[in-house]
Chain A
């Protein structure tokens, strides 16, 4: 079946603009995760969804970052007033359940460049 998809694959924006990144998880997967991959910080957890609720938002770096998930499926990560340090690859992953034992399946990522 189809894997996790993300759009856009690349996004170039100007400092101060808002951006929206989309994630389509594997159908039926309950859990959805957002991670950020940057040169200086490596791979960092941002936020986790269980269904439509987000029990763990501890990785969001500032209040400029927000995310939502609707219908237990698609998720959108929004970055307001983008800064150059937001430049990174944003990865989405989903898993069938919410247990720590579950394998997470990753999308190809959205590469964000803030000029």
Chain B
């Protein structure tokens, strides 16, 4: 069964510092990986996705992630965070037979950016 593990439930960081949110997946088939962000009392918004090609994926708001097949990881990074990046971040893998695209999510990582 496919699964996603986010290794840190909370990540506190000071403003303008770099951050890495870790995500590992298990899958026996080709993977499509996503990072979503959820701001308080809002739905999920796509940050970036890996489908194929270059393993370094750039997303919105200065975030990027690197797909590493040998380590089955898809860590999210930002070189300098802002207060406004405080939110919950979810890593997800697209599963399903044929063309069904249901997502399996990790447990989420709360990013707390401190001034």
Measured CB to CB, the residues of A under 8 A from B are 4, 31, 33, 35, 42-45, 48, 50, 55-56, 59, 91, 93, 95, 97-109
Contacts and interface: CB of A to CB of B under 8 A. Distances in A.
A33 B51 contact: no
A8 B106 CA distance: 27
B32 A100 contact: yes
Contact of A103 (B49, B99, B102, B108): B49
Interface string B56-89: 0000000000000000000000000000000000
A109 B90 contact: no
B41 interface: yes
B42 A108 contact: yes
Given A100-B96, A106-B43, 11 more contacts: A33-B102, A42-B107, A43-B92, A56-B96, A56-B100, A93-B44, A103-B49, A104-B46, A104-B101, A105-B46, A106-B44
Contact of A45 (B41, B43, B51, B102): B102
Contacts of A44: 105
Given A4-B43, A107-B43, A101 B103 contact: no
Interface of B: 32, 34, 36, 41-46, 49, 51, 90, 92, 94-96, 99-108
A42 B101 CA distance: 19
Given A31-B101, A55-B100, A103 B107 contact: no
A106 B43 CA distance: 6
A91 B49 contact: no
Given A43-B90, A43-B108, A91 B43 contact: yes
Nearest to A4: B43
A91 B45 CA distance: 12
Contacts of B90: 43
Given A42-B105, A43-B108, A103 B100 contact: no
A55 B103 CA distance: 15
A108 B41 contact: yes
A98 B101 contact: yes
